Amino acid sequence: MARFDKIIKGYFFLCAAFSVLITVLIVFSVLFESVRFFNIVPVWDFLFGTQWSPQTAMRADQAGSSGSFGAVPLFMGTVLITFIAMCIAAPVGLFSAIYLSEYAPKKTVNSIKPILEMLAGVPTVVYGYFAVITFSPFLRGVGDFFGLSIASESAMVTGIVMGIMIIPYVMSLSNDAMNAVPQSLKDASTGMGATRSETVRLVVIPAALPGIISAMLLGISRGIGETMIVVMAAGLAAKLTANPFEAVTTVTVQIVTLLVGDQEFDSAKTLAAFALGLTLFFFTLVLNVAALFISRKYREQYD
């Protein structure tokens, strides 16, 4: 038996080691290609340049025949869209979580929660479809009515639809955080004569705050990495703007466009995708680690 246990243990270890190894390999390959890219384009120009036009020049006399790789417009586009998305997802997700954990009768919870969680399983391509076919024309119609010109691929449309996609994540995670607040604390508050909303405001939310913050961070990280919706609904033009009604492009969109079609694997254009990927990886990693750190610290509080 002991021998069998050892074999099983070894097998489990191999599985775990395999996935860790693959992750490390991916990171290193991205890192390696990025270093090659930074040999052609200085890191500084990439991180702080405001001109993004990776197309290789048609004619030799064209300016910047090797294209220009200032990624700031992409970062800004990602930030703008994610910001709009969180403006939708944070309040809606948080309030529905509060409703589900503190106000809704059990029956409602049992029927609503699966539906909301199903929303998290909808493929993002469907959201993208929804954005392009339904929501964008609708928003443009509304804009026209008020005399506002909205681009058909505006950051607004993309952000709102992405926000809808993120709602279930934020909701589900903050709901977990609030359910983890011990009933005894809520009882203590109720027993003091606090109303339900006072209990939520003064006891439940403060106690669940670390969990709620980490839910928000994970939501943001989900938004930054989201690809399909933005590929379908956001633009391609790398314009540096803070106007949500104009078209912007994002890091993920550019990675896709850089790599779709015929590729030479050592052109700056192709390698740029790895540099973008590395940046993206770095930011989502920071966000996820921060979320993990915060929620772990908080878990110790009740043990």
Partner 1 sequence: MKNKDIRMQAKGLNVSYGDKQALFDVNLEIAKNKVTALIGPSGCGKSTFLRCLNRMNDVVDSCKIDGIVQLDGFNIYKKKVDVVLLRQKIGMVFQKPNPFPKSIYENVAYGPKIHGLTNSREELDKLVKKSLNRAGLWEEVKDRLEDPGTSLSGGQQQRLCIARAIAVTPEVILMDEPCSALDPIATKIIEELIDDLKKKFTIVIITHSMQQAARVSDYTAFFHLGKIIESGETKQMFSNPRLKRTQDYIAGKFG
Look-up of token digits 């070894």: 10
Burial of 237 (0-12, 13-18, 19+ CB in 10 A): middle
CB-nearer residue toward partner 1: 189 or 252: 189
Going from the C-alpha of 24 to that of each of 21, 27, 91, 292, the distances in angstroms are 5, 5, 36, 20
Q: Which residue has the tokens 């209990």?
A: 199
Nearer to partner 1 (CB atom), residue 204 or residue 258: 204
Residue 274 per-residue DSSP state = H
- Tell me if 191 contacts partner 1 by CB under 8 A: yes
Candidate ranges 67-75, 161-169, 198-206, 276-284; the one touching partner 1 (CB under 8 A): 198-206
Under rule CB under 8 A, residue 207 binds partner 1: yes
Residue position matching structure tokens 């890192």:
31
Q: Which of 2, 105, 262, 300 binds partner 1 (CB under 8 A)?
A: 105
Q: Applying CB under 8 A, which part among 30-38, 180-188, 228-236, 282-290 lies near partner 1?
A: 180-188
- Minimum Å distance from CB 218 to partner 1? 23
Other beta carbons within 10 angstroms of residue 26's beta carbon come to: 12
If the CB atoms of residues 35 and 185 are measured against partner 1, the closer one turns out to be 185
The reply to whether 189 sits near partner 1 by the rule CB under 8 A is: yes
Query: Could you list the residues that contact partner 1 (CB under 8 A)?
Result: 105-106, 182, 184-185, 187-195, 198, 202-203, 206-207, 301
